[in-house]
Structure 1
Amino acid sequence: MYKVLITDAHHRKVLAAIRSLGNKNIEIIAASNKRVYSSRMSKYCDSFIEYPDPAKKPKEFIKFMTKYTSENKIDLLMPMDDITVELFSQNLDSFKDVKIPIPDYNTFMKARDKSITIKKAIETNIPAPKTHFINNLNEVETLKNEIEYPIVIKPRISSGSRGITYINSKEELIEKYNLVHQEFPFPMLQEFIPQTGRKFQVLLLIDKNKNILASTVQELLRQFPVGGGPGTLWKTIESKELEDLSIKLIKSLDWYGIACVEFITDPRTGEPKLMEINPRFWGTLNLSLKVGVNFPELLIKMEMGEEIKPVINKHFEEYCQWLLPGDFLNFIFNKDRFNQEINYFFNKPKKFHYAIFSKDDPLPVLGAVLSYIVDLFNKEKLKNIFNRGK
């Protein structure tokens, strides 16, 4: 039996991961800096621990995790979000006795830093929005009279559309660029792709020999915030074109482990364009599991040296919804709420799944509701939710 510790357990993707490992002869320990969350109430969660906030106390976090994994003989540690993956990639030498299936720090930053990702895409002839890479603030002053509007201010390092700002004229560019720059230094200026374009995720698992061990392609049908953010309704699709582009890019980065490559179709040309790589597990993980592509289990087997037969999704037009609060908020703020092909609450397609609700494992719904109530009193959390992609 493997003993696996999964971090960032307050995220819904961790609930999906824990459920995917249930009945797999794996002892599962959920870990978070929060106390109230859905996955700790899953019947598949064997135990849970609380650690120092990795964003606010990174040194204390690493010290705690080093001690805990050693004393409790953890076989594999699975970091699930940007900050924890980054911290572990910087400190891999401190975890000699535990497997951590992530790339080294330099490789990780090729995907974490969106400017590096876009430059690599340009080098490898992968379509991407026209991008201006800013190295000093004087360049913005020069560019304001040369670029086409609208344009997007896009942080080099962020997640969940945080910091992304849309600019409609040169008069507002300097002020808003400086505001974003204060929190996200030297963001890029990127061509605006109309948000009516279709949005896709290519989900991959790749080993150190550049073999693709798992793959799924999804289309995001709804998000919150409505203009761009975490997916609230999505479906599996077939797209060899997007799969091939993603594999080409990932291999050029010498990547290892999990990756989520995101594209948007430019509605003006029909061409898919790279938006970013998420170098960690994605919030829409549950649907891959429902169609039989068990990324967490395959990742563990890969890291532990077990033989793996590649799993490429062949189940298309299956749907998944993150109803509360995600798709409910989309319903409230979406001006086209009554013109949706897939109804928010009724007449669901036959092959339809939910991100949190499960008849087999119902208690996490209660944990999710309690965590949402706690978040209502967290001003920082509410700001992060509603200030994405403005």
Structure 2
Amino acid sequence: MLIRALLLADGYRLQYKVLRCTSQLLGSTHVFGSHAAGNLRHSRFCRQFHLADRDAKFWNEREVEQLNRLCVERRIDVILPSDSATTGFLSRYGALLARPIFPVPAGEAFLDLDDKARFAALCLRLQVPVPVTHLCSDPAEVLQILADAPREVRFIIKPVDCWGSVGVRRIDPGSDPRALLDTLTYRPLVLQEFIEGEDATTVVFARGGVVLRSVSYQLRDGVVHFFRHEESVTHSEAIVRALQCDGILVFDFRITPAGAVRFIECNPRFWYRVELTMLAGANFVAYGLADDATAEWPVVRVQPQIAGPRALMRRLFSPWRLTRTDLRVLRFFLKDPLMYLLQLGRLLSREGREADGKRF
């Protein structure tokens, strides 16, 4: 039985949610993280915080040696990622670590999924429906594509590797994109046709190229609505099978007014609704730590909906509207109130509202 876990972290908002899911199974957890993850030390579920001296995107064999020593000193049984940077680190260096790691996509598979342009190209090869996507080296290339496109088409422009809505902008017909492009500091630029419709997400857990667990949901007014979406799961299975990958893959897609599906991007890591999904009945941390990975697992059954922190705060002003599920979620938050106060302050900031995104 696993006793002690070490969570790798390069921030604290998403990472805290993964910490809570881990603590539900294993109790308090050690954290090895960058300065940006420092607030995790204030959580009552962080057994001890171990500071890395640089951001996770720079981690290499030096951190491998530190982690191997730490695992011996603290008798760690398993190492988990909590974000894109630490998942990428484990995909590159996991084989060098002295303890088992949570399943993650390895090597090129991680890059094919995490890079928005490479993911679109992968979908095209596999005949998974995806919007028309261009990888542009500079604004001049963007302007040329826009000039050649039909006038009524709208586009989204975004970086290849950021998260949430950071750097994402929409270009509407008739607008002058030059002023917008002048404000974008990242290169290259991903230019993607905008798809009218609703956002939705399908999350899968895979081992050996086989999807073992999946849930789909939509976020409406702060409430997560779970549903079964067979088409998105089928496309997800095709991608997982082609890459023969492991781990958690989070597929964001659009559902058009006609009901058609268009895959937008993939985040091969834990995601921002992971703790609400756990409270609804599906703990994806548990799936990665299970010993029976090759068994025939049943379909995930979750509650139809669950309110997030913002929706729950609104309901507190009308307490007669609170359900038993709301009270259970509220108790979950109140077990570690300082961390949620820190996150609330971040959410209310301008930077936090932008980084929060629409699909997480």
TM-score category by the smaller chain? 0.7 to 0.9
> For residue 205 of structure 2, what is the aligned residue in structure 1?
205
The alpha-carbon distance between structure 1 residues 370 and 115, as it changes in their structure 2 partners (threshold 3 A), is closer
Partner Cα separation in structure 1 for residue 13 and residue 19 of structure 2:
10
Among 145, 151, 154, the residue aligned to 1:150: 154
> For residue 336 of structure 1, what is the aligned residue in structure 2?
none
Instruction: Using the TM superposition, give the Cα deviation of residue 73 of structure 1 relative to its aligned residue in structure 2, in angstroms.
Output: 3.6
> For residue 216 of structure 1, what is the aligned residue in structure 2?
215
Among 145, 162, 168, the residue aligned to 1:164: 168
Local SS of the residue matching 2:103:
coil
Tell me the amino acid that sits aligned with residue 369 of structure 1.
L
Instruction: Using the TM superposition, give the Cα deviation of residue 31 of structure 1 relative to its aligned residue in structure 2, in angstroms.
Output: 3.8
Q: Does 1:41 align with 2:9?
A: no
Partner Cα separation in structure 2 for residue 111 and residue 240 of structure 1:
21
The alpha-carbon distance between structure 1 residues 348 and 132, as it changes in their structure 2 partners (threshold 3 A), is farther
- Equivalent pair of 2:32/2:50 in contact (CA under 8 Å): yes
The alpha-carbon distance between structure 1 residues 309 and 18, as it changes in their structure 2 partners (threshold 3 A), is farther
1:43-81 deviation digits (Å, cap 9, x = unpaired): xx4443333342575457555434423443422111110
Instruction: Using the TM superposition, give the Cα deviation of residue 17 of structure 1 relative to its aligned residue in structure 2, in angstroms.
Output: 3.9
1:107-140 deviation digits (Å, cap 9, x = unpaired): 1001110111111112222221122232455432
Instruction: Using the TM superposition, give the Cα deviation of residue 206 of structure 1 relative to its aligned residue in structure 2, in angstroms.
Output: 0.6
Tell me the amino acid that sits aligned with residue 301 of structure 2.
K
Instruction: Using the TM superposition, give the Cα deviation of residue 41 of structure 1 relative to its aligned residue in structure 2, in angstroms.
Output: 2.0
Tell me the amino acid that sits aligned with residue 320 of structure 1.
A
Instruction: Using the TM superposition, give the Cα deviation of residue 319 of structure 1 relative to its aligned residue in structure 2, in angstroms.
Output: 1.8
Tell me the amino acid that sits aligned with residue 341 of structure 2.
V
Partner Cα separation in structure 1 for residue 55 and residue 110 of structure 2:
17
The alpha-carbon distance between structure 1 residues 367 and 200, as it changes in their structure 2 partners (threshold 3 A), is same
Partner Cα separation in structure 2 for residue 244 and residue 313 of structure 1:
15
Q: Does 1:282 align with 2:282?
A: no
The alpha-carbon distance between structure 1 residues 13 and 376, as it changes in their structure 2 partners (threshold 3 A), is closer
- Equivalent pair of 1:9/1:30 in contact (CA under 8 Å): no
Q: Does 1:236 align with 2:232?
A: no
Could you say what the CA RMSD is over the residues aligned between the two structures, in angstroms?
A: 3.5
> For residue 29 of structure 2, what is the aligned residue in structure 1?
28
- Equivalent pair of 2:158/2:189 in contact (CA under 8 Å): yes
Partner Cα separation in structure 1 for residue 113 and residue 54 of structure 2:
23
- Equivalent pair of 2:7/2:31 in contact (CA under 8 Å): yes
Partner Cα separation in structure 2 for residue 292 and residue 91 of structure 1:
32
The alpha-carbon distance between structure 1 residues 349 and 193, as it changes in their structure 2 partners (threshold 3 A), is farther
Local SS of the residue matching 1:288:
helix
Equivalent runs, 1:1-390 vs 2, <5 Å:
1-2=1-2, 3-8=4-9, 11-22=12-23, 24=25, 28-32=29-33, 33=35, 34-37=37-40, 40-42=43-45, 45-55=46-56, 58=59, 64-135=66-137, 138-148=140-150, 149-169=153-173, 172-177=176-181, 179-180=183-184, 182-183=185-186, 185-194=187-196, 197-208=197-208, 210-222=209-221, 232-267=222-257, 269-302=258-291, 308-323=295-310, 346=318, 348=321, 350=323, 352-353=325-326, 358-359=330-331, 362-370=334-342, 372-373=344-345, 375=346, 382-383=350-351, 385-386=353-354
Q: How many residues align?
A: 351
Tell me the TM-score normalized by structure 2.
Answer: 0.82
Local SS of the residue matching 1:102:
coil
The alpha-carbon distance between structure 1 residues 101 and 250, as it changes in their structure 2 partners (threshold 3 A), is same
The alpha-carbon distance between structure 1 residues 318 and 351, as it changes in their structure 2 partners (threshold 3 A), is farther
Instruction: Using the TM superposition, give the Cα deviation of residue 382 of structure 1 relative to its aligned residue in structure 2, in angstroms.
Output: 4.6
The alpha-carbon distance between structure 1 residues 161 and 64, as it changes in their structure 2 partners (threshold 3 A), is farther
Partner Cα separation in structure 2 for residue 21 and residue 158 of structure 1:
25
Instruction: Using the TM superposition, give the Cα deviation of residue 261 of structure 1 relative to its aligned residue in structure 2, in angstroms.
Output: 0.9
Q: Where is the helix percentage greater, Structure 1 or Structure 2?
A: 2
